[in-house]
Amino acid sequence: MTLGIITGLTAEARLARPLGLARAGGGTPEGAEAAAEWLVGQGVEGLVSFGLAGGLDPALRPGDVVVPLRVREGDRVIATDKLLSARFGVPGGMLLAGGAVVAGAGEKARLFEQTGAIAVDLESGAVARVAARHGLPFAVLRAICDPAERDLPPAALVALDNSGAIGLWRVLASVARHPGQVRALIALGRDAAAARAALKRRAG
């Protein structure tokens, strides 16, 4: 089966290349949908949402890999394909498809209590919709970057550009405005590295 792999970041797309044809959507649901449709146009036979995720379940730590059984987007819950998901690990739990980055620990706790979802990302809901539209199997392979108890620093919310690359100047400008976030950025970088290493092991 030729797989189409949809990511938010271009760096994630490079990690995903051993799995199939990878394309970054720029970290938005709209971009993920466009990337998934492009991959369908290339003739892929299944779609995988791949990359980093935010933790909602407090038990999940940076670098933990999640292969959810279901994706929730609004009031709709979409099941992942069991056979495809099993290629990446033991499937379990539900992932929440967000429309924007969930930055605060309080909001993460609220979403965990209200939805029961173990993690959240921006791409999986859009990828699930495209897969359903074209009758293709769909799976999610995500690694936890920011855990449930951690607030994201301001620079993390402005770092990504529309192509899925990190804009260094935007990060530096944010640090100049809010220098107190440097420690949080260092911690986020460390956790992101752990998550990327976990994804590389699963993809390799």
With the CA atoms of 150, 151, 153 and 158 taken in that order, what torsion angle do they form, in degrees rounded to the nearest 10?
120
Neighbouring-strand partners of residue 99: none
Structure tokens at 148: 């449930």
Taking each helix axis from N to C end, the angle separating 29-41 and 124-134, rounded to the nearest 10 degrees, works out to 30
Task: Write out the residue range of the structural domain in which residue 111 sits.
Answer: 3-203
Supply the CATH number for residue 189's domain.
3.40.50.1580
Helices (H) and strands (E) in the chain, counts: 7, 9
pLDDT at 95 over 70: yes
- Across the range 114-129, mean pLDDT stands at 96
The number of CA neighbours under 13 Å toward the Cβ of 55 is 22
Could you give the number of structural domains in the chain?
1
By CB atoms closer than 10 A (0-12, 13-18, 19+), residue 50 is buried
pLDDT tens for each residue of 128-166: 999 999 999 999 999 999 999 998 776 676 556 565 566
